[in-house]
Amino acid sequence: MLTRRIIACLDVDGGRVVKGTRFVDLRDAGDPAELAGAHARAGADEIVFLDIAATHQARGILIETVRRTARELFIPLTVGGGIRTLDDAGAVFEAGCDKVSINSAAVKDPTLITQIAERFGSQAAIVAIDAKRMEEPIEGEHWRVYVAGGRIPTERCVLAWAREAEARGAGEILLTSMDRDGTGSGFDCELTAAVAEAVSIPVIASGGAGTVEHFLDVFRQGKADAALAASIFHFGIHDIGELKQRIAAGGVPMRWPC
């Protein structure tokens, strides 16, 4: 049976993980390579590096970080943040990542999705969508697409954009609820289900995880194929293994033991 996935996201800046680390027994708890490996051993199904670097110099360090991480990581690795061109994508693939996640650049130039899909395959092209509920629905749509790390609203509505991303070759949608992100009050199941029903590609839910029940809700009501969490050890549980066992006990198929 195809399992639902638990994806660990690490915010990386200049070769360092900048938040959400509670591993013990690591030589360097801020080292992305070491943390990625620790998450994999603990049972994460995939790893995402979100590059939050603001400088060009830090970007170069990211490539080296990906290379070093990929050498000993044998589960899928995605890199997102700051990928604006096919060349940017090519550089992180060359360093050993398996998928890229593109957000603002895809909104600015949707052909980038197709370029990446044609060159590296749809399975390697994730379109990330930052969604925020609108005060009034527009043509049946309730959520607006934001870019630039959620700072800038666009003219696009979420369901239409998700469908367009699929049509242009995206292999997965990484959907972040800006309304829930950082709140710990649960994933936005209504948003996630709406997108999951609008497209036939997998949807990764992000934003709002606080408890095991939140994961169960987003898999059951939200129809998410995967759930992503940045600080996966802040749920009052000890490790990903325990999280997965409790989700599985709730009737959602998980890869466990790994």
Partner 1 sequence: MISIVNYQASNLRSVKKALDYLGLEAEVTMDPEAVRRADKVLLPGVGHFAATGRMDCTGLRAAIAEAVARGAPFLGICVGLQWIFAASEEAPQVPGLGLFPGVCRRFPAGAKVPHVGWNSLEIAAPSRLLAGVEAGTFVYFTHSYRAPVCAHTVATTEYEGAFTAAVERDNVFGVQFHPEKSGEVGLTILRNFGALPC
- In angstroms, give the least distance from the CB of 122 to partner 1: 7
Report if residue 124 touches partner 1, rule: CB under 8 A.
yes
Residue 211 three-state SS = coil
- Contact (CB, 8 A) for 215 and 243: yes
Q: Is residue 48 a contact residue for partner 1 (CB under 8 A)?
A: no
Q: Let me know if 11 is a catalytic residue.
A: yes
Rule CB under 8 A: say whether 93 interacts with partner 1: yes
Among 22, 28, 64, 94, binds partner 1 (CB under 8 A): 94
Single residue of 4, 16, 168, 246 touching partner 1 by CB under 8 A: 4
The dihedrals phi and psi of 237, each to the nearest 5 degrees, come to -125, 170
Task: Return the axis-axis angle of helices 212-220 and 240-249, rounded to nearest 10°.
Answer: 50
| DSSP 8-state class, residue 182 | T
Please, which residues have CB within 8 angstroms of residue 225's CB and are 6 or more apart in sequence?
Answer: 4, 5, 172, 196, 202, 203, 204
Helical H segments across the chain, by residue range: 32-42, 56-71, 86-94, 104-108, 111-120, 158-167, 189-198, 212-220, 240-249
Q: How far is the CB of 66 from partner 1 (least distance, A)?
A: 11
Told to judge if 225 belongs to the known catalytic residues of this protein, a careful annotator would answer no
* Least distance to partner 1, CB of residue 215, Å: 15
Single out the segment in contact with partner 1 by CB under 8 A; choices: 25-33, 90-98, 138-146, 152-160: 90-98
Site for partner 1 in 49-88 (CB under 8 A): 70-72, 74-76
Contact residues: partner 1, CB under 8 A: 1-5, 40, 45, 70-72, 74-76, 93-94, 96, 98, 120-124, 171-172, 200-202, 225-226, 255, 258
Which residues are catalytic, by number?
11, 130
